[in-house]
Structure 1
């Protein structure tokens, strides 16, 4: 019964129902964890009459989970990329990326919690859904750093290694938000941006 068509071939109703299911899956995983997020639980949250309606739109749980991960990354990209891509200098781009990432974490905690639950709950999550976008993100940070070095904005350093460090700092920021609900996000963002700028700027 499942429609074997590309997303561009879906009717408006089918696309809306798929989006509804993906949203329900994301929220269910964030609340219950990956293992307990069954089709029955997802269907209940989505207000569907039967879990079988999920199987109509998605071949299996892995296909649905893949769409959840893709949705989180796309949402984050829509928030973060404009802050970096529209910058005139590498320093502004780096500042926009770091601040934008933390803003996304703060305003979309359910998204990030679901992503973490999937990463920790699915044995093949990293290779299936995370390695490629994470590598692409590191490539983007590295490109900004190299651009800054070429323009004389940044000091000489191994760009890939520093990109990994910045990425690790952001992962630490996400963890801090999870364990500190009343975190002063504005202050944390300000200091982490300053830390990144001091670490790379040309003296």
Structure 2
């Protein structure tokens, strides 16, 4: 079946609605993020304009998650690409994830609330455990990380990181404080996973 391509205007309107939805969810939470609130925030004349572009709330939330993950990936990717070695990559992931709060606080708060309420699936969040476990195993095989249960450490790392990010996102501190938090957390995980406390 042929699918009609969206026009530039339709694409722009969808982006406008997604941005408004993310900001509303960040401000009032998923439960109170009605189409009416989103339409008002986006400056739309009616909720029908949202329904025209999205099949329903689930469809809109999926688009919100996709946009948040795009923004998150674009922000964190330069940090990760510039990190050479298993430990440096671990540090870059943690520090950039915390720094993300300062650059995109609404996106972070919205994603946390969406995932917490089970309103939509985030491939980036649900896929993290497998990525970290693979990273730790590879580092252990390379002699960089000490022997440990990769599943347990992955759970501890992601849970701790999520808690710090959620706390910071609720009332974002300044860039210097976020950088300090990121370094402290990265130092903690490096000390916990390496024999020397730091290696390449």
TM-score bucket of the superposed structures, by smaller chain: 0.7 to 0.9
Structure 1 position 53, deviation (Å): 0.8
Counterpart-to-counterpart distance in 2, 1:195 and 1:87: 18
Asked whether the equivalents of residues 43 and 51 of structure 1 are also in contact (C-alpha less than 8 Å), the reply is: yes
Deviates more, 1:174-183 or 1:143-152: 174-183
RMSD: 2.1
Counterpart-to-counterpart distance in 2, 1:169 and 1:56: 40
Count, aligned residues = 193
Counterpart-to-counterpart distance in 2, 1:44 and 1:160: 45
Question: What secondary structure, in the 3-state scheme, does the structure 1 residue paired with 2:76 have?
Answer: helix
The structure whose RCO (Cα within 8 Å, separation 6+) is larger is: 2
| TM-score, scaled to structure 2 | 0.86
Q: Does 1:109 align with 2:112?
A: no
Q: Does 1:191 align with 2:187?
A: no
Structure 1 position 174, deviation (Å): 1.4
Matches within 5 A, 1:120-135: 120=116, 122=117, 124-125=118-119, 128-130=120-122, 132-135=123-126
| TM-score, scaled to structure 1 | 0.85
Asked whether the equivalents of residues 109 and 170 of structure 2 are also in contact (C-alpha less than 8 Å), the reply is: no
Asked whether the equivalents of residues 98 and 170 of structure 1 are also in contact (C-alpha less than 8 Å), the reply is: yes
1:201 is aligned to 194
2:95 is aligned to 99
Structure 1 position 65, deviation (Å): 1.1
Q: Does 1:45 align with 2:41?
A: yes
Q: Does 1:146 align with 2:142?
A: no
Asked whether the equivalents of residues 112 and 166 of structure 2 are also in contact (C-alpha less than 8 Å), the reply is: no
Deviates more, 1:143-152 or 1:14-23: 143-152
Q: Does 1:62 align with 2:55?
A: no
1:164 is aligned to 155
For structure 1, list consecutive stretches of 5 or more residues without a partner in the other structure.
none
Deviates more, 1:187-196 or 1:177-186: 177-186
Asked whether the equivalents of residues 101 and 169 of structure 2 are also in contact (C-alpha less than 8 Å), the reply is: no
Asked whether the equivalents of residues 90 and 153 of structure 1 are also in contact (C-alpha less than 8 Å), the reply is: yes
Asked whether the equivalents of residues 93 and 144 of structure 1 are also in contact (C-alpha less than 8 Å), the reply is: no
Q: 1:71 aligns with which of 67, 71, 74?
A: 67
Question: What secondary structure, in the 3-state scheme, does the structure 1 residue paired with 2:183 have?
Answer: helix
For structure 2, list consecutive stretches of 5 or more residues without a partner in the other structure.
none
